Structure 1
């Protein structure tokens, strides 16, 4: 039993092992393929377009009265003498959409805590671009439509992040992850300012009693986050109270949703929490009882931040239900009776169109250029000027936020229709302009990618690299690692499981990527491993360093050398030698050339692996490579 438990801990506790384990896979049906596509970024964008077209057709059809009647259907929720009475349209805009803005707040907090906004050098360029991308569109709108409808300037300040990323997936470079991160950071600023504008500018009839309750709810959320409460239910309960209080106060609930999301704590997963969850799951494996399972579930939940768990739960319902329902409720504008022709000659319509399409493009491009010229930061690696211009053009897709503000800014139905037409026209023009710019960038500037490199550079060299397994193995796993990284392969048991599955058909190579800003001892540990390699004991030192990740001072390293029976004096000399330092530096330069920016980063047969790096996922990816190699041999 002890042997079985040890094997289980290393290779099965988190689902790793043979890919054939478990029930047989079900056949992939057309319905499965459709639902899988809709869950992608491009699929969700197509879904929004389809729903918007349905709304427009319905609102202009012979049964258009049913569309109007549907959204004016009264609905109420009552508890005793207290109740909330709104029509269906307001339940969508003031109720369901709170989940959308809460999700935005969660994303902003995540970016501030562990994402791109934590790094000043990476954040300042999109921050400046985001601010100008809000200010310039508003100025353009006011210059065109300020006399007729000045209150509509807020319509052009927002960007629909989901729509933007969906269209980017369809018309942008095939590899655009770095551009995606840049645009996400930019839209964080955009969304934060847009929601603040909604809450401050478009608020009437402020009631102080409910407002005080809302502020107290925010204080409670802050205090709850300070107590390190890991369960999500208390946060959700307070958010519901906050929503009701904000609704009663007269402030638009979108601001409450954003503020609540910002107060839900986010943090990087700690290795000790994962190890604790692993032990609890082991207990369940030995004693599969309900109480033990509940404890294991709690251990798994504690290892992931409340922010990340709520984000994961809300992401699909918001993108697949909340936003499409919002589009169905708000995109249906009756264009009959000369409304369309009046819109095409209206300053409101063209103020919205030019504010979104031209204002966003010029504002973001100008902000990016100014931030770089002022030395505030630089563009992400792999992102060129054409990609920035293309992304800036796509930012003119306002849609969700813009349509919400249309409903708040315009009390006149005809003006609201003109503004909505402007939002829809801007969506088409911004998408088309983005496509033209990306196409031009590919042809004129050779920007076929807006991402980090994906090919291992230089390839594996048996004379220079450290290799485990047969030198002639057909499958190769290369890991860029850091001896203080808690999730590198030695800690997770990845290589043990991969080798156990493939045997001598796979080899394992490690290269150093010490993260100097986060792991102060990693570089010295890398030097120690290379110094041990001078005496033919690299892998022994490699394993020892991972086994003692929290004791990597120089005196500890010398002690490990002594434990391995190395010539300690020569080891100390080699640790300080320029040849060993140059070897580690060569690995770091290789990481930059290969697009590895963090640890662990894996390359499978020379191509960077994306996504999870658990053993089961890597085994499946290697099996796919092996299948492709066999097919290629048969064709030849």
Structure 2
């Protein structure tokens, strides 16, 4: 008798599941793959390899011409006509930057950047990882044609860093994962500011006013509680168009809109529980509600279930697969395919970028972090040594996506090809060397964690 009761109790506790259709058995493995963060880094590596192979094969001319194919949009006398590469870089990448904005907002409100004391090390490390590489690059390129590309060695590619950490698996302590991801996000904020300040040519104030007018309208609608996603998408397109026509790079609109997105849920978990409990009474026939009232309650529960998570969380979850497996690979296909020639390796800009990313990044991260610890502003987490931080700094030299993006804004022609080559070489060296050092320095499973030796001044 007790066994029967135990089984009944287990049945009641069993988590309810939606019905499984045959198509779900086909889609579910793909869905799981698309939601694994490291998978997007693997796809990005494969697509980059494909782009390089095509650009250096007998199909090179056709491949490179394809991305210059003109694509036009027109309404009456108004027309926009740009190459496919431009639509990817200025259009689709605005969605990528929107997701970056969402990540920044989440970190500021809910994540590591919410607690300033905990965020000091990654903030200071990120600052060093931007200032020192840019300074080293400028020293090597001062007075040269590539001087304008000083922002290229400042970035860290989140997708590749996450992929590398995933390969190392459980050996990576949570504190190191948080530090690296926070550092990469702060790097992205810095790169966004670099794009906005350093690579804006000739402002059209009327178009810029249109863009900021749209932002103001979105802010007003958020304040009065409008929650219509299609309306915000339409207004967001208007903001993007205003920035695009103003001379300020259009992707900045994506960042601003991402940061404006609410990070707090509209419905609390407690209120959702009340709705669900009331719905349970209705389904068991204990509510006494009329048919119309029952339907209204079901609709309210549907809205409450959706609004119990914040817009930032919902949009991140919805857009990450599209960005990681669609937009970023397309960007790599459109920008990473460069004809590699022997002479290109000797270009001064290639050397400047390789040194900026592989040397400047770890030096800047270690130098600024060391100063912060010596001044007593912060301390390293107990399971991160200075050696591990240095190896992580090398890994942060994987610039790729953002570095290629800035290169496309700063340079043209053969100089742009040379810069892309430098970014690819630096990213590969940083990934390989950083991974090897972390494999050597991180404790193996079951091995006691190392404790860091803090930098202190003699008393």
Residue 291 of structure 1: CA displacement? 5.8
Bigger relative contact order, structure 1 or 2, given CA contacts below 8 A and separation 6+? Answer: 2
Counterparts of 2:450 and 2:32 in 1: how far apart (Å)? 25
2:223 to 223, 226, 244: 226
- Map residues 30-109 of structure 1 onto 2, 5 A cutoff: 33=29, 36-37=32-33, 39-109=35-105
1:270 alignment counterpart: 268
Work out the CA distance in 2 between the residues paired with 1:211 and 1:203. 12
Aligned in 2, Cα 1:346/1:83: closer, same or farther, shift over 3 Å?
same
For 1:129, the equivalent position in structure 2 comes to 125
Give the conservation status (yes or no) of the 8 Å contact 1:52–1:331. yes
Which of residues 195, 207, 210 in structure 1 aligns to 2:207? Answer: 210
| Paired residues of 1:382 and 1:450 also in contact (CA < 8 A) | yes
Superposed counterparts of 1:312-331, under 5 Å: 312-331=317-336
CA distance change for structure 1 residues 122 and 443 in 2, over 3 Å: closer, same or farther? Answer: closer
Q: By how many angstroms is 1:203 displaced?
A: 1.4
Which range is displaced more, 344-353 or 64-73? Answer: 64-73
Deviation at 1:162, TM superposition (A): 1.4
SS in 2 for 1:251: coil
CA distance, structure 2, for counterparts of residue 405 and residue 115 of structure 1: 27
Is 1:247 aligned to residue 244 of structure 2?
Answer: yes
Which residue does the alignment assign to 1:568?
Answer: none
Q: Which whole-Å CA distance do the structure 1 matches of 2:13 and 2:269 have between them?
A: 21
Distance 1:146 1:281, change over 3 A: farther
| TM-aligned CA deviation for residue 283 of structure 1 | 7.2
More displaced stretch, 175-184 vs 307-316: 175-184
**1:373 is the counterpart of 2:374:** yes
> 1:193-208 to 2 correspondence within 5 Å?
193-208=190-205
User: CA distance change for structure 1 residues 329 and 17 in 2, over 3 Å: closer, same or farther?
Assistant: farther
Distance 1:176 1:25 in 2: 39
User: C-alpha distance in 2, partners of 1:84/1:28?
Assistant: 41
Report the Cα distance in structure 1 between the residues aligned to 2:349 and 2:84, rounded to whole angstroms.
Answer: 27
Partner of 1:393: 394
Partners of 1:233 and 1:53 in 2: how far apart?
A: 37
Q: How has the CA–CA distance of structure 1 residues 262 and 34 changed in structure 2, closer, same or farther, with 3 Å as cutoff? A: closer
Task: Choose the corresponding residue for 2:114, options 104, 114, 118.
Answer: 118
Report if the CA contact (8 A) 2:171-2:443 is conserved.
no
Q: Structure 1 pair 371/404, CA: closer, same or farther in 2 (3 Å)?
A: same
In the alignment, the residues of structure 2 paired with residue 389 and residue 209 of structure 1 have an alpha-carbon distance, to the nearest angstrom, of: 47
Map of 1:260 onto structure 2? 257
SS in 1 for 2:150: helix
Give 1:244 deviation, angstroms.
Answer: 0.6
> Displacement of 1:129 after TM fit?
1.1
* In structure 2, distance between residues paired with 1:216 and 1:362: 43
1:37 CA displacement:
3.9
With 302-311 and 113-122 compared, the bigger mean Cα shift is at 302-311
Where 2:201 maps in the other structure, the secondary structure is coil
Counterpart position of 1:300: 305
Deviation at 1:119, TM superposition (A): 0.6
- 8 Å contact 2:443–2:449 — kept in the other structure? no
> TM-score, length-normalised on structure 1?
0.63
* 1:102-125 Cα deviation digits (max 9, x unpaired): 101111111111111111111122
Q: Distance in 2 between matches of 1:80 and 1:279?
A: 54
Instruction: Give, in whole Å, the separation in 2 of the partners of 1:221 and 1:188.
Output: 25
Instruction: Name the SS for the 2:81 alignment partner.
Output: strand
Could you tell me which residue of structure 2 aligns to residue 355 of structure 1? Answer: 356
Aligned with residue 334 of structure 1, among 309, 325, 339: 339
**For 2:156, which of 159, 163, 171 is the aligned residue?**
159
CA distance in 2, matches of 1:448, 1:34: 37
TM-score by length of 2: 0.86
The residue number in structure 2 matching 1:192 is 189
Gaps of 5+ in 1: 1-9, 452-636
| Structure-2 change in CA distance of 1:427 and 1:121 (3 Å) | same
- Secondary structure of the structure 1 residue equivalent to 2:155: coil
CA contact (8 A) 1:235 1:264 kept: no
Structure 1 residue 315: Cα displacement = 1.1
Q: Does the 8 A contact of 2:272 with 2:301 survive in 1?
A: no
| Aligned position for 1:417 | 417
Residue 248 of structure 2 aligns to a residue in which SS?
coil
Q: In 2 relative to 1, CA 176–31 (structure 1 residues): closer, same or farther, beyond 3 Å?
A: farther
Range 82-91 or range 174-183, more displaced: 174-183
User: In the alignment, which residue of structure 2 is the partner of 1:427?
Assistant: 427
Alpha-carbon distance in structure 2 between the residues aligned to 1:17 and 1:78 = 58
Question: Offset at 1:175?
Answer: 4.0
CA distance in 2 between partners of 1:130 and 1:143 (Å) = 20
Note the alpha carbon deviations across 1:388-416, whole angstroms, 9 max, x for none. Answer: 223211111111101111111112x1111
Gaps of 5+ in 2: 1-8, 285-290, 452-459
The aligned counterpart of 2:5 is: none
1:67-103 CA distance string (max 9 Å, x none): 1222111112223332322111011000000001110
Tell me, in whole angstroms, the C-alpha distance in 2 between the residues paired with 1:281 and 1:345.
Answer: 70
C-alpha distance 222-275 of structure 1, shift in aligned 2 (>3 A): same
Which residue in the other structure is 1:459 paired with? Answer: none
SS in 2 for 1:76: strand
